[in-house]
Structure 1
Amino acid sequence: MKIFGLTGWSGSGKTSLMVRLIPALTGRGLRVSTVKHAHKGFDIDHPGKDSHNHRVAGATEVVVSSPRRWALMHELRDGEPELTLEQLIGKVAPVDLLLIEGFKRDRHEKIEVWRADVDKPLIAPDDPTIVAVASDGPVPGCPVPVLDLNDEEAVAALIVKRCGLG
Structure 2
Amino acid sequence: MQLIGLAGWSGAGKTTLLTRLIPCLGRRGVAVSTLKHAHHRFDVDTPGKDSWAHRQAGARQVLVASATRWALMTENREGPEPDLRFLLSRLSPVDLVIIEGFKRDTHPKIEVHRAANGKPWLHPEDPQIAAVASDVPPPGDLPWVPLDDVEAAADLVQRFAADAAAWRD
Cα offsets for 1:35-72 (capped at 9, x unmatched) = 00011011111110100111111111100000110000
Which sections of structure 2, spanning at least 5 residues, go unmatched?
A: 164-169
TM-score with structure 2 setting the length: 0.92
Which shifted more, 88-97 or 104-113?
A: 104-113
Sequence identity, in percent? 55
SS at match of 2:19: helix
Task: Output the CA distance in 2 between the equivalents of 1:105 and 1:94.
Answer: 25
Q: Is the aligned partner of 1:107 residue 2:106?
A: yes
Which shifted more, 156-165 or 81-90?
A: 156-165
Task: Output the CA distance in 2 between the equivalents of 1:142 and 1:42.
Answer: 37
**Residue equivalent to 1:32:** 32
Task: Output the CA distance in 2 between the equivalents of 1:104 and 1:63.
Answer: 29
Count matched residues.
163
Which sections of structure 1, spanning at least 5 residues, go unmatched?
A: none
CA RMSD between the two structures? 1.3
Task: Output the CA distance in 2 between the equivalents of 1:95 and 1:82.
Answer: 24
CA shift, 1:116, in A, is 1.4
Task: Output the CA distance in 1 between the equivalents of 2:99 and 2:22.
Answer: 12
CA shift, 1:110, in A, is 1.1
TM-score with structure 1 setting the length: 0.93
**Residue equivalent to 2:93:** 94
**Residue equivalent to 1:59:** 59
Q: Is the aligned partner of 1:122 residue 2:121?
A: yes
Which shifted more, 155-164 or 119-128?
A: 155-164
SS at match of 1:134: strand
**Residue equivalent to 1:157:** 155
Task: Output the CA distance in 2 between the equivalents of 1:125 and 1:143.
Answer: 11
Task: Output the CA distance in 2 between the equivalents of 1:143 and 1:56.
Answer: 52
**Residue equivalent to 1:4:** 4
Task: Output the CA distance in 1 between the equivalents of 2:140 and 2:111.
Answer: 11
Task: Output the CA distance in 1 between the equivalents of 2:81 and 2:161.
Answer: 28
Q: Is the 8 A contact 1:113 1:135 kept in 2?
A: yes
CA shift, 1:162, in A, is 2.4
Q: What one-letter code is carried by the residue in structure 2 that aligns with 1:137?
A: V
